[in-house]
Structure 1
């Protein structure tokens, strides 16, 4: 089950307060700027800063390449805008 759109509209990264990519099929929220991943378990986002999992370069590349077709963003930003800010 996907996270509710109302929840997505307020979720931000607890570290940099920026928007996240949400991959429904993987049940993860991803910050491409910091390369940090947050799990969603039983429809509950695990969003404490100490729960962020670092992402290696190869996994980051796979997530970024999938984002335009598979991800939605928090804060109603276009995916392309979020990826551009990731540098």
Structure 2
């Protein structure tokens, strides 16, 4: 998924219905994720498909939140 992908403008967090941020991989072993900074939840992108079920999201720690915000592409 690219930062200018029009799909990013319509994707929303399944919990608070707010916008999500695309987070670029931090290394070759990592995948892109969609991130909700308001709830500190990240959602995986598997084979280019965002996994936006509430159960797919993972809560992140405050330290990981700071790290993800530095990597935010949008």
CA RMSD of aligned residues (A): 1.6
More helix by share: 1
Unmatched segments (≥5 aa) in structure 1:
73-87
- Number of residue pairs matched? 68
Unmatched segments (≥5 aa) in structure 2:
26-30
Provide the TM-score with structure 1 as the length reference: 0.70
Which of these residues, 37, 48, 52, is aligned with residue 53 of structure 2? 48
Moved over 6 A (4+): none
Question: Within 2, Cα distance between the matches of 1:57 and 1:47?
Answer: 22
Post-superposition CA distance 1:15-55 (Å, at most 9, x none):
00001110133410000000000000100000001111000
Provide the TM-score with structure 2 as the length reference: 0.81
Which of these residues, 27, 31, 38, is aligned with residue 36 of structure 2? 31
